Structure 1
C-alpha cells in the first residue's frame, strides 16, 4: 500500500501526497572518464553535543565520512572543506577543516575516488592583514592540503577582498600562492549571488572586467592550474569564460540552474562538475554520467534535466542557504539521524520551501525508504504547527 503524507499547499491548506517508489539507481564505484565530477559535500553536525553559535561546532565525523562513502559508491568525488557556507564564522574553523580534509582524503584514497580540498585564509585573526600575511595564510593551507595527498582548491578570501587595492594585488597574491602548488590546483571564482561580501573581488565590481583579471591569472599560471570553478550562476558568461581560457585549464561549473547544457558542452568546449547539488542527487547524476561515458548524450541530458527543478528550488535566492536543502535531503534519505546543520542555519528556509523540495526529491525517487521520508517530513510540519 502506498505511503501518504499530508502536505501544505500554496494556499495554506493541507492535501494528501502519495509517495513515489524509490528509483533503483545503479552503483558506479569508479570515477567517470568523460568528465571530472566532484560534489561539495556537506558536513554532519553532532546534534548530541552542546553547541553555541559562533563557536567551532561539534561534528559527527563518522556520519560525515559515511556520507562521503555513499557518494563514492556512485562515482562522485568530493571537493572537501571548500564550501564558504560551512567554513569560517559560525562554521568549521581551520583546525576542524584540517581534520575534515585528513579524514575525507583518506576515505577517497581508500575508495579510489577523486578528491580535492579547500585552501583559504580563514585562520587569520588580524582584522586587517597585509597582503604578505594573506599569502602566508593561503600557503599554509595549500601546503597542508597537499601534504594529505590532494590538490588544493584556492578558495575566495574575505581577507583579500578587504586588503587588495587593485587587480594587480590579486594577480600577485594568486601568483605567489600558486607557486606553492606541487600538483595542479583549482581556483574558485565565487560570485556575489553566493556571497555578497565578495563584491569587488578581482579588483572590479563589473563581471566582465573581473573576467579579464581571472583570464590573465589563468594564462600567467597555466602550468599550475587544473581549472577554475565558476560560481556566478550565469550560463552565457560561463560559455564566454570557457572560450577565453587556455585550452589546458578546465572550467568546473558552479551553475546549479543550468548544469546540464554546460557539462554537455557545445562541441568545442564543455564544463566539468563541481556542484553542491551533486550531494543530494548523486544517485541520479551517477546514472547520467555513466550514460555520458557510454556516448549517450541524450540519456545524460534527460536524467540531468529531470533534476533541474529540484536544484532550482534548493538554490533559490538567497543561494547561500542551499546547504539547508542538502542536509534536509540527507536526513529524509536516511543518511543521518537529524535535521541539524554545523552552522545552526537549518531554520533559514521556510516550511513551504522544504515542502516543495520534499515533493521534488520524491518525484526523482531519491528517498530509499519513502515511509521514513514521509514520517520525517511529518515531524518537520508538526513542529511548525502544520499537522
Structure 2
C-alpha cells in the first residue's frame, strides 16, 4: 500500500512537470490531486511541523493576510492566495514522499527539463537568422512554460544546481551534461538566467556538499574569458548585450521608455511614487494593479503594459505594507541560514538565486515563479529524520 501511494504521488509529480511545460490545466489539476493524496494519508501534524521546511512553507499564508484584510470580499485578493498554496503542497510532498526517494524525483525533474530543451533547440536550428535578428529587438527564443523565458531560465538553472548535487560514479558524463547545460543557458541569452548561473557557479565552487564543485571551480576561473568569447562568437549573446546597452541609453536620455528595461524601470518608478507620494503602501493585493495603472498613467501619459512592479519587495510593500516587506524578507532568506547551519549549500544557493531574481522581477507573484522556487527546494532539502521513520508518522 505504501509503495502504491509512492507510485501515485510520483505520477502526479510527473503530471505537474508536464503541466509546467505545456498545460496550465494539468498544472492546476496535479497539485489539487496531490492535496487529496496528502490529506488522505497525512501523518501526525505535530511530526510534520517538526520539519523546518513545512513550518516555513505555511508562513506565506499568514503573510498573505497583510494584504487581505483591506478587501476580504474582493475575488482578486484570493488570486495570490492560490499561488502561495504551492508552498505547503511542495513542502508536505518533500517530507512525506520526495525524502524517501529523492533521486528519482530529481532525475524526473532533469529528464523532463532536458526534453523541454528540444523545442527551442530545433527552433533555433531551423530559424537561426530570424532568431538572431529577434534578439536584436529584445525578443527571445520560444520556450515551453507559455513562452515565459525568464522563469524557464530559472528552471534551467535549477537543473544545473540539482544535477551538480546528485552523487554519481559517472562523473565524466555528469560534467559533460552540466557543461552542455551551461552552454545552452549562455546561448539562450536570458539575463536573469545568466546572473542565476553565475551565482550558482560562484557558490558551488566553494561548497563541499556540491558533488561537481571541481567543475564549477574551473568554470569560475574561466568565467571572464567565457563571457568575452560568448560575446564575440555567439550571435544571440552579442545581440542581447547590444540591445541592453541601447535600451539603457534610450532610458537615460528619456527618448523612449518602451524597451524592455525601460518599461521595467518606469513601472518600478511609478510603484515607488505610488508608495511614497500617493501613500498607497499596504493597500491590499487587489489594489496593486489599479494603483500602478493610476500612477503610471499620471507620470507617463499612457497605461502601463504590465500591472505589477518588477521588484518583489515593491510588490509586497504595495500590497501588505512596510511590515510585510520586513517579514517577507526574513521568510525568503531563512533557508540561507538553515542551509549554512545544516551544511546544505544547495538550499542556501537556490534561495540566493531566487532572491536575486526578485530584485528585477516579481518572481514570487506568479505561478511559474513560485513553482520554480519551492519545488527545487523540496528536491534539495534533506529532511531529517524522515517522517516515515517516526512513530507519529506511520501513516505517511
Q: Structure 2 length normalisation: TM-score?
A: 0.28
Instruction: Between the two structures, name the one with larger relative contact order (CA 8 Å, sep ≥ 6).
Output: 2
More strand by share: 1
Q: Structure 1 length normalisation: TM-score?
A: 0.29
When Rg is computed on C-alpha atoms for both structures, the one with the higher figure is: 2
